[in-house]
A = this chain, B = another copy of it.
Amino acid sequence: MFNIWENIRKTAPLIHHITNYVTVNDVANITLACGASPVMADDVEEAAEITQLAAGLCLNIGTLNQRTIPAMLSAARKAKELNHPVVLDPVGAGATKLRTQTALDILQTDSIICVRGNISEIKTLIHGTGNTKGVDAAAVDCVTEENLDHSCEFAKQAAQKLNTIVAITGAIDLVADTKQCYIIRNGHPEMSRITGTGCQCSALVAACIAASPAKPLEAAAVAVMAMGLAGEIAHKHLLPLEGNATYRNRIIDAICHLTAEELTKGAKYEIR
């Protein structure tokens, strides 16, 4: 399975990102770190044209606005037409009507291969409302060892209802289609103290799927494992005085050096 990781470096896919301005630099650098190439363009006048040049599209609604929403929809429609993989990161869905509605509108384009979000965001997309606390998941929603069977079932149902692969990240990550659910236990709790680890994970998902489009479920799972393992490796090398800013850099650095071999050894997952 982990040749998927090598495929990124072999094919160096160009990924079109329409994303938020908070974490965009880290998203671009992690895209380069994994071996893909990023291009950011969010004006409706050129969005479809850029998508046409790219091998994949990553839509992130973290700082959506009236100007970029039409660009996201235009790019999604073009990607659908060209059969390019599109990843949706519904940042903050459930927090406002605009976010929830925009995420649903993007899903309506029927272009999305994978939705990567926290559990509250995904629940919002399924149930119409959620417990999102700003851009973070609500504690009440979280995937735990106790509710794991139920959570896997939810993930598969969400995949069915959304007609996409669903990647739900948190302390335990779930990546599911309608039939299989990867349960992934990589990562480190301190990752939640860095802004944009979720956005970066979505960027890896887009790169992995664009490089291995025939195996989107495995590719999404590999991306989530890679992000988690990078978080572990980076944390191991953190010095006592270093905090979340340096940790951010070291995670991207770890992706830079991560090999398929290390991933094979370090990935902690099961399939249900």
Contacts and interface: CB of A to CB of B under 8 A. Distances in A.
A64 B41 CA distance: 8
B193 A33 contact: yes
A130 interface: no
Give this chain's copy count: 3
Interface residues of A, number: 63
A180 interface: no
A256 B243 CA distance: 6
A65 B42 contact: yes
Interface stretch (A90-98, A149-157, A212-220, A260-268): A90-98
Secondary structure call for the A interface: mixed
Contacts of A16: 134
A6 interface: no
A170 to B, nearest CB: 15
A134 B37 contact: yes
A66 interface: yes
A267 B24 CA distance: 33
A250 B62 CA distance: 26
A45 interface: yes
Contacts of A21: 21, 24, 40
A97 B47 CA distance: 11
A271 interface: no
Contacts of A45: 66, 96, 98
A25 B196 contact: yes
Given A43-B63, A243-B256, 5 more contacts: A29-B244, A39-B95, A46-B96, A46-B99, A49-B96
A-B complex: 9 closest residue pairs judged by Cβ atoms: A243-B256, A243-B253, A245-B252, A39-B134, A28-B195, A245-B249, A46-B96, A43-B65, A46-B98
Interface of A: 14, 16, 20-26, 28-29, 32-33, 37-43, 45-46, 49-50, 53-54, 62-67, 92, 95-99, 133-136, 193-196, 237, 241-246, 248-257
